[in-house]
Structure formats: C-alpha cells, structure tokens
A and B are shown apart, each in its own frame.
Chain A
Amino acid sequence: MLVLGVETSCDDTAAAVLLDGRTVLANLVSSQDGVHGPYGGVVPELASRQHVRHILPILDGALKKAAVTLNDLDGIAVTRGPGLVGSLLVGLSVVKGISFRWKIPYVGINHLEAHLLAIFLEREVVFPYVALLASGGHTLLYLVSAFGDYLYLGGTRDDAAGEAYDKVAKMMGLGYPGGKVIDQLAHTGNPRAVSFPRSRMKKGSFDFSFSGLKTAVWHYLKARGENRWEAHKSDIAASFQEAVVDMLVAPTMRAARELGVSRIVLAGGVAANSRLRERMLEQTQEEGMEVYFPSPALCTDNGAMIALTGHRWLERGRRDDFGLNADADLTL
C-alpha cells in the first residue's frame, strides 16, 4: 500500500510518501523558522499564509522524490488536529480536493497519535509501552497498549517543554527555535552551576509543569543583569536544560515502574534533545528497561508519521467524507 502523508498542524509544511507502512520513499519538510524567528514564537496567521504558499510545491516534491504519481497512491492521510486551525485547514482542504478529483480515499489523522507511533517507521516496538510526547506544543504521557489503544497518564499544566525552551531562549536573546540553541550551548556548560527549582506534582500524578522554572530563570537573569550573566550563559543553559530533563524523566520513569511496563518511547521535537536522550538511556539501563527514540527528523513534525498512521487506519477500512473539518483541540 502506498500512502501520501500531509502535515500542516503548526509551522512546518510537510509531506511524505510511505510504502507498506514501513519504507519512507520521501519525507519533505519546509520549515518556517525564518518567518517566525523575529517574533520568538509561531505566529498563527503567518503560519497559515506560509502553508498556502508551500503546500503544493512540498507535496509535489515528495511525490517526485518518491518517483510515484497520484495514480499509484492507495490513500492519503492528513493531520486534522490538534493544532492551529488556520494551518490545519490548508493541508486538509488541499487533500480533500485531491481525494475528490482522483477518487483516492483519504483519512484525517490525529497528530498526537501519529507522534506516538512514529517510532514504528524505524523500529518494531512490542506493546505495551509508555510514550512521552514532548514538543513545542505538547507535553503528554501515554500508555500505548496497542494500535488505537492509548491511555492518557498525564500532561503539562502550563507550558509545553519546548515552549519553555523557546521562552528562555528569547529571554537570553539566543534566537528561535530555542530547543536547538539551548541544547547546543548547554554542551559547554555546567548543568550544576545554577540550581533551578523542579516543580513537584502531588503523589500519583504524572503531570508536568514548566512555568515555575521559566520564571526562576527570568528572576535569575534579572537579578544579575545582562553583563553579569552573559559570560556564563552556557552554564545557565545547561542548568535550565538539566531541570527540564529532570522534570521529563522523573514522571516517565515512575509511570513505567508503576505500570510494570519495561519499554519507553520518546516522541516530539524535544525527544531530539541530546541530554534527554542521554539521561533516558542511563536511567532505563539502570532499571533494566528499554528506551526508543526516533531519529530527529521523525521526532519533529513530519509527513511520514501521518502517512504511517493513515496506513494503519486505511488498512482497517476507515474512510473520511468531504465534510470533515479541522479540530484545533482534538484529543486522543
């Protein structure tokens, strides 16, 4: 089965072609970082405008790279939520148009489900597993027991992990997106230089919270003044990152322990973070568990994971009709 996957839920226009739910023939992403950079975060209206410009060239590029034509496709999968509604509508409308013209079945995909399954593009993972989805828009913990069987365990109460990175990067004048720059800078810094607070949830909760940490960084910077912290900004970056990683690792490990699950899957843009990967590897090894993470290109938003999820739904016979709308708050 040959499936085209289209993803426009936030600021990346992405399309991919997937053969038999396994072989990625093409996986193209047009990043808008240059557009949103000056604002220090994604501007929804600008993102929608960029998608309209890029969607057909990206989609066409993916088909050409995969050396297939529309006639070869067995189905199309497109993100229908959650995300920015204006952005979602561009991908969804284009896909509905193609599906209508060429009578190719299509399915609207839940972006979160696609992230939780992205690992299958590279590895077989035995169910059940605990999945941590951490990105600029989400910080969620799920128990994945089978395809289609996702149990919500916890989520962030305020900022998403990636959002905290962006905001701290903005405070420190490091640019956007924050994840990459802070990760890079942290390599040369001391993670124990500044002891930023770790928010603790009450017993039994698998929730996350990053706004306290963000505020702590702000106060730290303000109390010192730019000329005094500038010299050891790599230490601040490393210490901030260590706190984020601590707060991501602890509930994830605890969930696996308490549920008696020995496999953990990371997903989302923050799963590309080098320190998070390192710490999760150490922790899981220590406790005799296994951790899986997709390569960075499959952690961030991409069309391949949408195609994969679409493949699974299509093979179960699901088809969506042309009245389908985008859903900004779609849950799993």
Chain B
Amino acid sequence: MILGIDTATATASVAIVEEGKLILEEARSAPKQGGPGARGNHAEILLPLIDAVLSRASLSLSEISAFAVSLGPGSFTGLRIGLSTVKGLAYGWEIPVVGVPTLPAIATRVTGWEGLVCPFLDARKKEVYAALFRRRDGALERLTEDLVSSPDAIIDRAAVLGHSEPCLFIGDGIKAYGNLITTALADRGFLTLGEAYPSTACAVAQLGEARVRRQEFDSVGTMIPLYLRPSEAELKKRVRS
C-alpha cells in the first residue's frame, strides 16, 4: 500500500495505490488567499487531505508500506511543503520513502494517446519546466531530460523531435503559453490540456511502487526537491562573476 503525494503545482493530490491499482485519490487546490501574511499554499490543505483519503479508505497511516513524493520540478514552496510533510510522516519508523520526478509522473497519467507527450509547467520568469516523451502502444519513452527553458525552445524541440507526430501538452504552462503552441504547431496535430489532468499523485504512487519493488529507497533525512533552477541570488551572482 503506497501513499503518493504531489504538491508541485497549484493542485495538491494524494493517492493510495496497491499493486499498481489505484485505491483512492483526491485532489484539492491551494486556497488563492491564505490568512494574513501567508499566501495561500498547500500547508493548509495537505495534511487534512491525507487525513481525508486515509479515513475514506478506512486505513491508518501505520498500514501504509511506503511513501512516494513528487520531487519536482514545480513550485519551490509547494515541493518543500510536500517533501517536508513526508519527512515528518516518515520520521521515527522504518518506512521506505521514494522521490518521484514530477514530469514523468504527469506523462504517466496519459492514456488513449499515441504520439509525443509534453508535461509543460509554468516556471514563471517567462520559462517552463518541461520534458518530452513518446507514447507508443501504451509505452512511454523519454526523449529529453527535464528542462527549464523558454516555452518557444520547448515547442521547437517538440516540432523537431516529432516529425509528423501529434504532441500532447499538459500542465499549467498552457494557461500562459497556449497561444504559442497553437501558432507554432498549427499545421500539426496537437492537443493542450491545461489542468485537465489535475491529479498526479496516482502516477507518483505507481512509479514509486515500482521503485520500492526494486528496493530503490531514498534517504529521507537528506532528500531534497528537484529544483532544476538555482535560486535568483545564485543566478545573479553567476552573471556578475
């Protein structure tokens, strides 16, 4: 029984998976506005959501056999809330924890599509977090590593890699850059799904379960998110030096 958690984007999700099968999954959006001094974030909703999923499944946390957590890329704050919560939940007992990269997890959610798949998350600063995959006969092949880059560069990459294949873009990057896709790929098959795949936790749990089976555990104490991008201060320092 694997508990999967994803807080990489504005929608948090929690899922319970066993033997690859989804037992239960729930998603909730972070409140737009938090209390005074706190922007709305997953801190308010994540544990109540975990609590709700467990009680709906009539499970207690101690019956879970491993945690799988979405590592990123995504919102820095969201990722830290998810990973820190898992660190707390896993502390003090011998439960395995595995970190799962977010972009492959999003791509894994896709069914009934043949062609390229591109998780496409808004990274602010006029960039997206993205990676390209090919889905053929139900199997997913990774074509690029996780990238942080201008949306144009990603769309170009999809155009070159895909030849005549259609490309499915998924994620909140579409809200900001959907028009770029429409323009660049107008003569090709493409599809955009903004937040129509809101929940990633199920795939996180499934991919996590596969790693648990291979005994590929992470060390919960020292685990960190996959930020993909250095902090602003580090970037500026690099430019100067």
Residues of A within 8 A of B (CB): 38-39, 43, 45-46, 48-49, 52-53, 55-57, 59-60, 69-70, 81-82, 85-86, 89-102, 322-330
Contact = CB atoms under 8 A, between A and B. Distances in A.
A86 B35 contact: no
* Max chain A C-beta neighbours (<10 A), residue from B224, B233, B234: B233
Contacts of B221: 56-57, 60
Interface residues of B, number: 44
B112 interface: no
Contact of B34 (A56, A99, A100, A325): A325
A89 B81 contact: yes
B35 A327 contact: yes
Given A322-B51, A323-B44, A325-B43, A56 B87 contact: yes
B135 interface: no
A100 B231 contact: no
Interface string B153-174: 0000000000000000000000
A38 B234 CA distance: 10
Interface stretch (B10-18, B88-96, B144-152): B88-96
Nearest to B91: A98
B239 to A, nearest CB: 14
Contact of A102 (B92, B224, B237): B92
Nearest to B233: A43
Contacts of B34: 325
Q: Would you call the interface of chain A mostly helix, strand, loop, or mixed?
A: helix
A97 B37 contact: no
A39 B47 contact: no
Interface in B205-241: 220-225, 227, 231-234, 237
A326 B233 CA distance: 23
A101 B227 CA distance: 27
Given A82-B37, A325-B41, A100 B224 contact: no
- 8 closest A-B pairs by beta carbon, nearest first, are A97-B88, A329-B37, A93-B84, A45-B231, A322-B47, A94-B88, A327-B37, A97-B89
A43 B87 contact: no
B50 A100 contact: yes
B29 interface: no
Given A94-B87, A325-B38, 5 more contacts: A90-B84, A93-B46, A94-B84, A94-B85, A98-B89
Contacts of B220: 56
A100 B89 contact: yes
Contacts of A326: 38, 43
B132 to A, nearest CB: 28
